[in-house]
Chains A and B, each alone.
Chain A
Amino acid sequence: GGNNEPADADTNNNDAGTNNTSDKTNNEADESSGENSEGDYSLAEDQTLIFARGGDSVSLDYASVTDGESSRVTEQIYESLLKFDEDSFEIGPGLAEEWEVFDDGLRFVFQLREGVTFHDGTDFNAEAVKINFERWADPDHEYHFADEGYTYSVYGTQFGGFKGDDGHVIEEINVLGEHEIEFVLNESLGAFLQNMGMSYFSITSPAAFEEHGSAINENPVGTGPFKFVSWSKDDSIVLEKNEDYWQEGYPKLDGVIFQVIPDNSARLTALRSGEIDIMDGLNPDDVEQIESDPGLAIFERETNNIGYLGFNLDKEPFDNADLRRALNHAIDKETLITVLYAGLAEPAKNIIPPSYMGYNDSIDPYAYDPDLARELLDEAGFGDGLEFDLWTMPVARPYMPDPERAAEVMQANLADVGVTANIVSMEWATYLERTEQGEHDIFMLGWSGTNGDPDYFFGNLLHSDAIPGGNRSFYGNDEVDSLLNQAKNSVDEDERAELYREVQEIVHEDAPMIPLVHSIPVLAGSERVKNYVPHLSTSEPLTNVELAE
C-alpha cells in the first residue's frame, strides 16, 4: 500500500485480524518502505526478476482455477476491486477507490478508479466489472465458456452458488454510471467485501473475451502492473512492465519471469548461482544454510493454514471421543516441526491460523505426553493396542511439505503409545475422493485460507453441511452448526469473533481431529531483491519490488 489511503471510516467492519499482529506488520511495512525511498542501494541495470517455483500455472484465467501457482502470475496481470494490505487480509482500495454498504449489508456501491486502461488499451469501467461478474455467475453467459469445460468454483463457493441456485447471494448488478457500480444481495454475507479483495475476482478486459474467447486462459488482459508476454508450458511465463499502469512510477521492475524448476535442490542451486532471484518451496532444512549465506535472504510468509490429522467419526472406534483425546496427547508436534519444518511452523491447537479474527488463544492445547496418552487409551479400553490405517497424501501441500515423512514421524509417535498405524498412500485424486467418501480410518490433510475469513475454515471443515465435502471427519454437532450459521450471516465483527471462539471450545473438547501445525511457508531469495513482502494468501503483486546491484 503506502499511498492514497482510502476513506474507510464509513465502513466499520474492516479491521480484521487481531490488533497486535496488524500493528506488527504495519511497523515492518513502514520500515521497508522507508528503506525504499531512501535508497541506500543502487539499482541493478537489468530489472527483470526471475521467480522460480515448483510447478507451472494451470491457467491464466484466474477464476476458473484454484491453484496457487496460477494466481501468483495473475496477481501481476490483474487487479480486483479491493486489495488486501501488503501483509494482512485487511482490505483497502483496489480498482474501486471507494465503496459504501447499505441496507445492513444487502447493497454495496463501488466508485471505480478513473483513467485506468486494460493492457489492450480499452478503458476500465463499470460495464467491464458487470460483465466479469455475470460471466462467472451465469452458466449460460457467452463468456462462461461452459462448453469448453470452464467452471468458476470459487465464485460458487464464495457467493453461495451460481445464477439460479438457491443460495446464490448476488441478486443483481447495476451500472450506476461509467465508474459507479452497485451490487444487490438477497441475503447478507459477512465476507462479501473480503471476497472482493480475492484475486479470483479480478477484472478482465471485455474486449479480450471478444477477441480470444475461451483461449482467454492463455491470453490474459488485465489492468495490473505487468503485461503478459509469453508462456512456455512447464517452463516459464514472461511478463513485462505495464508502462501505462495507473499507479504513477510503478511497477519498479521491467519484467518478471516465472520459471518452473520442479526439483527443490535444483532450484536452490539455481538461486545460489544467480540464475534466479526468488524461489518458492524451500526445503526447511536449507534455511540455516541460506541464512548464513550473505548473498541470500529468507522471506517468511505469515501462516494462513492448518495441517491436521483427522479421525473418521463415522467409523469405529473413532466415534469414541475418549480415544480421540487420548491420541491427541500422543502426537509430538514439536518433533514434527523440527524434523519436517526445520522449526518454521507453529504447533496448532485450533483450526484457524492465529492471526485470524476469533482465534481462541485461551484454549489449552493437548500436551504431548505419551504416558498420559497410554493411560487415557487404557481408560478408553484400548490398553492392549490398537491398529489402524493412517492415510497420508502423496503430494506436498503448503501446510505439509512432506506428508509421507510426517506420517512416518506420527507412526513412530503412535508406536510409542502402543498403537500400530499402517501408512497408506494413494494418488492425490483418489485420496481426495476416498476420504470424501469416508473410506479412511485416520487421515492427514489441511486447509489454506483465501480471503482471511474464519468461516472459510469452519464452514468447510466442521459444518455438517460440508458432508460429503470438506468435512472429512464426518463431524456433526448441532450446536456447532447453529453457531456457525449465525456467524456466517452476521456482519458484526465482534459478534462473529465471539461465536467462533465458542465453536473452538466445543471442537477442542470433541476433538474430531488433531490439529498439527500452522506452517510458515518460506521463500529464499537473493539479497538483491528489495521490498518483497510475501502475503499470507500465497501470492502477492510485485509492484514495489526492485532489484539492487
Chain B
Amino acid sequence: MESVTPVKKQPMPGPENQEPHLTETESISPWKEAFWQLRKNKLALVGLFIIIFFIMIAIFAPFLTSYSYQTLNAADRLQGPSAQYWFGTDDLGRDIFTRIVYGARISLMVGFFAVTGALIFGSFLGILAGYFGRWVDMLISRIFDIMLAFPSILLAIAIVAILGPSLQNALIAIAIINVPIFGRLVRSKVISIRQEEYIMAAKAQGMKNGRILFHHVLPNSLAPIIVQATLGFGTAILEAAALGFLGLGAQPPTPEWGRMLSDSRQYIQSAPWTVLFPGLSIMLVVLGFNMIGDGLRDALDPKMKN
C-alpha cells in the first residue's frame, strides 16, 4: 500500500465537532449524547417499540391468552383466524396466537444467550489476538478465518448434529458460529484503538498495559460491539429459526417460530395462516433489532453514520 504523507490537520467543520448547545456546567457523556441521538431516530424508536412490545408479550404471555400452547384439540384443527382463535389454529388444533406469544419467549431467549455467549468468547479471543499480536494473533485469526470460510449454517447443522437437536444445543451452535464475527470485530477495534493518540498519551503518563487495555482500549471499542450485538440478536434469531425449520432446534411441543413454520409448511395451501404468522413474527422481531442496531450505529459512531 502507498505510504501516505502525513497531512496537517485542520479542525474540520461539520457536525462532529459541533459543541452541543448546553449550559456551561452540564456534563454530557458520550453515552448520553448517543442516547439523545437515538431518541431523534424514528426508525430506531419504532424498533425499540417493536422489541419492547415483544418483550412484554413474552413476559405476560400467560395473561394474554386462555389457551395452552401444547394442549391439542383435534376437533378444531386448522381453523382460520376468527374471534375465537385470532391467528387460527394449527394442524393439532392449537391456538396459533398462543403459540406465537409463548414463542416470543424462546426467540428472545435464543437471541440473548447466543449473543451473550458469542460476545464473551469472541471478545476474549479478540482481545487476546489484538492485544498480544504476533503468533497469538496469527493463530486466533487463522482459526477465525477457517471458521468463517465454512458456510455458517452448515457449521451450525454439524454442531447440532454432534450435540443432538434441542433448543439449548441450537443456541450453543449459533453462539459458536458467531464467535469469529465478534472476535474479529473486537480484534480490529483493539488494534485500531491501540493506534489512537490518547493511548500513546496514556503510555506517556506511565500507565501499565493492563490499565490501558481496561480503561482506555475496551471502553472505546464498546460502541461498535454494542451495535454488532444488537444486530447479532436479529441474526441469532434468524439462525435459530432456520435450525428450527430444519428440525434441528427446539423440539415439540415448544412453540419455536421456525419450527412452527416447518411443521405447517404443508398446510400452506389449505391453511396459509399457519405459515403466515410465525414467519411474520420472526421478521418483526428481527426487524426490530435491526432498526435499533442501525439507530445505535448512527448514534454511537458518527463516522459510520449513513
Give Cα A411–Cα B253 distance, bound, in whole angstroms. Answer: 9
Does A268 sit within 8 A of B, measured CB to CB?
A: yes
Query: Is there an interface contact between B247 and A394, defined as CB atoms closer than 8 Å?
Result: yes
Provide the residues of chain B in CB contact with A268, threshold 8 Å.
269
**Per-residue 0/1 for A385-413: is the Cβ within 8 Å of any B Cβ (1 yes, 0 no)?**
00000000010000000001101110110
Q: Whole-angstrom distance from the CB of A387 to the nearest CB of chain B? A: 15
In-complex Cβ contact of B251 among A289, A415, A423, A427 (8 A):
A423
Whether A263 pairs with B251 at a CB distance below 8 angstroms is no
Q: Are A289 and B270 closer than 8 Å at their CB atoms?
A: yes
Tell yes or no: A211 within 8 A of B by CB: no
| Contacting pair A427 B165 (CB below 8 A) | yes
Interface residues of B in 255-272 (CB under 8 A from A): 263, 265-270
Nearest A residue to B164, CB-CB: A426
Please indicate the chain A residues that have their CB under 8 angstroms from the CB of B78 in the complex.
285
* Binding site secondary structure of chain B: loop
**Judging by beta carbons under 8 Å apart, are B251 and A339 in contact?**
no
Classify chain B: how many residues form its interface, as a range.
20 to 34
Q: Which residues of B contact A427 (CB under 8 A)?
A: 161, 164-165
Let me know if A26 is at the binding interface, CB within 8 A.
no
Q: Which of B66-74, B198-206, B279-287 contacts A (4 or more CB under 8 A)?
A: B66-74
Please determine whether A408 and B70 come into contact, CB atoms closer than 8 angstroms: yes
Query: Any chain B CB within 8 A of the CB of A22?
Result: no
- Any A CB within 8 A of the CB of B77: yes
Q: How far is the CA of A283 from the CA of B78 in the complex (A)?
A: 14
Partner among B70, B253, B265 whose Cβ is within 8 Å of the Cβ of A265: B265
In the assembled complex, how far is the CB of residue B162 from the closest CB belonging to chain A, in whole angstroms? Answer: 10
A interface: dominant SS: helix
Q: Are B77 and A339 in contact (CB under 8 A)?
A: yes
B-chain residues with CB within 8 Å of residue A264 when the two chains form the complex: 265-266
Q: What is the minimal beta-carbon distance from A517 to any residue of chain B, in angstroms?
A: 15
Q: What CA separation (Å) do A292 and B70 show in the bound complex?
A: 32
| In the assembled complex, B46 has its CB within 8 A of some CB on chain A | no
Q: Is A499 an interface position by the 8 A CB rule?
A: no
Bound CA span A339–B74, Å: 6
Q: Which of B20-73 contact A (CB under 8 A)?
A: 70-72
Does A531 touch B at the CB level, under 8 Å?
A: no
A473 to chain B, nearest CB (A): 23
Asked if residues B74 and A407 are in contact (CB atoms below 8 Å), the reply is no
What is the minimal beta-carbon distance from A293 to any residue of chain B, in angstroms?
A: 12
Measured between beta carbons, the chain A residues less than 8 angstroms from B270 are: 285-286, 289
| A338 contacts across to B, CB distance below 8 A | 74
**Least Cβ–Cβ distance between A288 and chain B, in angstroms:** 9
B252 touches A423 (CB 8 A): yes
In this assembly, does B207 line the interface, its C-beta being within 8 Å of a C-beta of chain A?
Answer: no
Q: State the A residues within 8 Å of B (CB).
A: 263-265, 268-269, 283, 285-286, 289, 335, 338-339, 394, 404-405, 407-409, 411-412, 415, 423-427, 430
8 additional A-B pairs beyond A411-B252, A423-B253, beta carbons within 8 Å, are: A264-B265, A269-B269, A286-B269, A289-B269, A394-B165, A423-B251, A426-B164, A427-B164
A-B contact pairs, 5 of them (CB 8 A): A285-B91, A339-B74, A394-B247, A404-B263, A425-B165
Would you list the 6 A-B pairs with minimal beta carbon distance, nearest first?
Answer: A283-B266, A264-B266, A408-B252, A426-B164, A412-B72, A335-B74
